[in-house]
Amino acid sequence: MGLCRFSLFAFFSVVVVHLLGVHGEEKADLVSDKSSLISFMRGIVSDPKYTLASWKSPEIHVCNWSGIRCNNASDRVIEINLNGKSLGGTISPAISNLSSLKILDLSENFFVGHIPKELGFLTQLGQLSLSWNFLEGEIPAEMGSLHNLYYLDLESNQLHGEIPASLFCNGSSSLRYIDLSNNSLGGHIPLNNECMLLEVSFLLLWSNKLVGQIPLALSNSTQLKWLDLESNMLSGELPHEIVSWPELQFLYLSGNDFVSHDGNTNLEPFFTSLTNLSNLQELELAENNLGGKLPSNIGDLPKSLVQLHLESNLIYGPIPPQISNLVNLTLLNFSSNILNGSIPPSLCKMGKLERIFLSNNSLSGEIPSALGRIQHLGLLDLSRNKLSGSIPDSFANLPQLRRLLLYENQLSGTIPPSLGKCVNLEILDLSRNRISGVIPAEVAALTSLKLYLNLSSNNLIGHLPLELSKMDMVLAIDLSNNNLSGRIPPQLESCIALEYLNLSGNSLEGPLPFSLGELPYIKALDVSSNRLTGAIPESLLLSSTLKKLNFSFNKFSGNIPNKGAISSLTIDSFLGNDALCGSIKGMQSCHKKPSYHFVLLIIPVFLFANPLLCMFGYRLARWAKFQRRMVIFGRKHYENDEEETEELKYPSISYKQLIEATGGFSSSSLIGSGRFGHVYKGVLRDNTKIAVKVLDTTAECEFSGSFKREFQILKRTRHRNLIRIITICSKPEFKALVLPLMPNGSLERHLYPSHGLSHRLNLVQIVRICSDVAEGMAYLHHYSPVRVIHCDLKPSNILLDDDMTALVTDFGIARLVKGDESMDLSNSSASFSSTHGLLCGSVGYIAPEYGMGKKASMQGDVYSFGVLLLEIVTGRPPTDVLVHEGSSLHEWVKRQYPYKLDNIVDKALQRLSHYSGQHDSNKFWQDVVLELIELGLLCTQNNPLTRPSMLDVAQELGRLKDYLCNNPSSSLLIDEAVNSKVNDFFRSEDNLLEK
């Protein structure tokens, strides 16, 4: 019995000792994890949002630290997720002591320095994401020891050197997601028969400096869904022997030096290798050196194919009619090749086509009328070919046609009046052809044109149609180098959005209409080489918006004052007008001796006319008195009207007070004009500065919907980055929104100092403003009591207060969101239609899917915001790029990304930075500009599903702003008082949303 007790006691003693030992070991491991994290924290030099505050508190258990997740059983750290926390500094090697770590995500921060080779000790690591930082150096070969790693993302850093073979040859082939894109990695892709990626589904290596051929060993990666190798220096023949990926959906090989087979003459083997890829959706082979004819087996490509890019190659010969077998294709791009022959009429069988690019080839023959049967066609670009014949009438049957580009061909005949039925057409460019006849009134009356009309360099005759005045949304009209005659109609003043007007090289005669100078946005006017007579209107000479004027080779006369827009012109703008005089260098002087005969003649005339003038003056005074009485009566009518403001909680401001505050809505108080009315500045009796947005009551239903929409949105939303409403004034014939006056005006004024401002914004201010706008838009999309889609985000709709805080304004065409649907306040449908042009927003900022009839969406606002970012960095309005480059701002920047951005970045730094002698920090500022460009490109992707949300954008810009405000390199750009205010603001997260 005693022996049994002793044995039982011994057994329990052993168990207790063992348990105490295990517990002690776990406790020691936890202490080790904590000390490793503290060492990691010491390497961080900036934490503006106090993300790591919990790490510094002794009362908080390590497993409850921000961004930390532990194993429930052992309390060991298994995950660190500090994505997008605005952290700077270096990544400490001490993190390698976290032996149980499975997930490490430090992406979207500001970490610098090298990737610690000690990360190779984290043998349990399954996910590693260090993307979107400023890491440099080589990828450590020690990372090849991570045998459990299945997700690796090092995208968008500054890594160089070769991809270590050990990374792809770690013996386990566990990697399923690999993204090393947008770095400066060189060398070959390290794959061979002994080194394979058997499990990889996503291999993204785009935008590096990789060389050599695509390795044959990649054929063993049968799980591949997405292969992106574009924008490298890869060469050799297209990889027809290795394309055995049954799951492949996206294959991007553009921007390399690939050639076709048989000495760059045969594309057939490669297309044959793709025929069994039944899931393939997008194939991009653009911007290579591919030669040979398009083989007939192009029609055997998978029916699942949605986009096909072969542009900018050396492909020749005709387009095979078999291509019509690709019935699900929505985009076909064969532009900038050497294709010849005719356009196959069988393209009409591809009923889902939305965009066709065949420009810059040698295609000939007539344009097939069968193209008019592609019901979803929104863009047709056949420019810069050798096409002949007339323009098909069948284009009138294309309900979705937005852009028709036929310039630089050999087209003849007349402009078909039926084009006037293309009620959604935004761009019509028929320039540099042999088209004759008159401009049809039906085409001139296309109110849908929002971008430009270009009929220049043809053989057009006749007068300018009065119907042109109906194009109230068009940006540019070019009718130059034709045989047009007659007078320039004054009614062109109705084209209120017009920025560029070119009527040069015609036979126009008569005076230049005074009304042209009153176009509110006109920037360039060319009427040279005509037969115009009379004086140049003062409205043009003194216009504040006009920057380019050409009056040369006409019969103008009179004095040219050296002021206003004229002061920046040279004699070249006035050549060939012998009767002009003025103080412009090279122009004859106007100083002449007075004619005494004229003086003797004018004296009796004046004496005789004086009694008549007195009589007329008396009648004029009585008429003015009568008018004043009518105005007073009108005021009383408004003041005594029973209808008051819709919401009693807003202060009551009468119509009379608004009259007094704005000087009777005088022109001197006018600070802006828009689609639905005018904005005036004013000062109330209590010295409150206000902006009065007076709605145009003649706009009928559009006006009423805009007023109701904007008022309801403004009264329901409240955020520090949204304009607030003071009150409204709603009467039967007068409706206005009263808003606080923003002393620093709109962002547009600061981006383009020619608008009357001499001071430019610096880069820190720009980042702050962009962050403010993103915060306001994120609130509208995700946090507002009523979710709002703005639909018209652009620089003129962003106002700046005393502290240069940005406020989003102008909700006249905004949409409310109910669930996943967007709805108008006056109409439950949110789709775009030709009869409701106000929904489309502003030209250049409109998301491409809107042009295809898609509903208003938050992704559309993200696109507009991305355009805004690119506009700020490039210093070019999107409309300017569209007119001069023939492409969107997104496409223009993307063509230069990533290796041709130096010019854009340098010019951005010249415009946006005011530091000097800081060459050592130049790289810092370049990186900031590059980050803005990359974010802008992400937001403006054609596919709305791939764009980030405004929450993501706000977070990204927030961390960039935080980093700038706390980085010593930016101290010369930040006023200490403002910086202190910003930091105080960051400490209180309650201030982010005013409730």
Give the residue numbers annotated as catalytic, written as ranges.
792
**Beta bridge pairs of residue 255:** none
Euclidean distance between CA atoms 885 and 882, whole angstroms: 6
The helix (run of H) or strand (run of E) holding residue 429 is: strand 427-429
Q: What is the DSSP letter of 932?
A: H
Q: Evaluate whether 148 touches 171 at the Cβ level (below 8 Å).
A: no
Q: Is 625 labelled a binding residue?
A: no
CA atoms within 13 Å, Cβ hemisphere of 955: 13
**Beta bridge pairs of residue 344:** none
If DSSP codes are grouped into helix, strand and coil, which group holds residue 889? helix
Euclidean distance between CA atoms 567 and 555, whole angstroms: 21
Q: 78: how many CB neighbours lie within 10 A of its CB? A: 21
Nearest to 504 by CA among 524, 523, 541, 478: 478
Euclidean distance between CA atoms 903 and 875, whole angstroms: 12
What torsion do the CA atoms of 272, 278, 279, 281 make, to the nearest 10 degrees?
Answer: 50
Residue at 405: amino acid letter: L
If DSSP codes are grouped into helix, strand and coil, which group holds residue 857? coil
Euclidean distance between CA atoms 463 and 438, whole angstroms: 8
Nearest to 769 by CA among 960, 636, 595, 567: 960
**Beta bridge pairs of residue 226:** 202, 250
Q: Evaluate whether 387 touches 410 at the Cβ level (below 8 Å).
A: yes
- As a 3-state breakdown, the chain gives helix, strand, coil percent values, each rounded to 5, of 35, 20, 45
What's the farthest any 2 CA atoms get from each other in the chain?
151
Q: Evaluate whether 112 touches 89 at the Cβ level (below 8 Å).
A: yes
Q: Which single residue is written with the structure tokens 């007329």? A: 616
Q: Evaluate whether 808 touches 790 at the Cβ level (below 8 Å).
A: yes
**90 exposed, middle or buried (CB, 10 Å; 0-12, 13-18, 19+)?**
middle
Euclidean distance between CA atoms 87 and 46, whole angstroms: 6
Show the DSSP H helices in 488-576 as ranges: 538-541
Q: Which single residue is written with the structure tokens 């009209």? A: 477
Residues listed for the chain: 995
Question: Distance from CA of residue 824 to its chain's centroid?
Answer: 24
Residues in CB range of 610: below 8 A, 6 or more apart:
none
Dihedrals phi, psi of 581, to nearest 5 degrees? -145, 160
**How many H helices and E strands in the chain?**
18, 52
If DSSP codes are grouped into helix, strand and coil, which group holds residue 324? helix
Euclidean distance between CA atoms 609 and 611, whole angstroms: 6
Q: What is the DSSP string of 306-318?
A: -EEE--SSEEEEP
Euclidean distance between CA atoms 298 and 323, whole angstroms: 6
Q: 557: how many CB neighbours lie within 10 A of its CB? A: 14
Nearest to 934 by CA among 156, 19, 111: 156
Q: Evaluate whether 833 touches 854 at the Cβ level (below 8 Å).
A: no
Task: Sort strands 250-252 and 226-228 into parallel, antiparallel or unpaired.
Answer: parallel
Strand order in the sheet with 815-818: 787-789, 815-818, 821-823
Binding-site residues for ATP = 693
Binding-site residues = 693
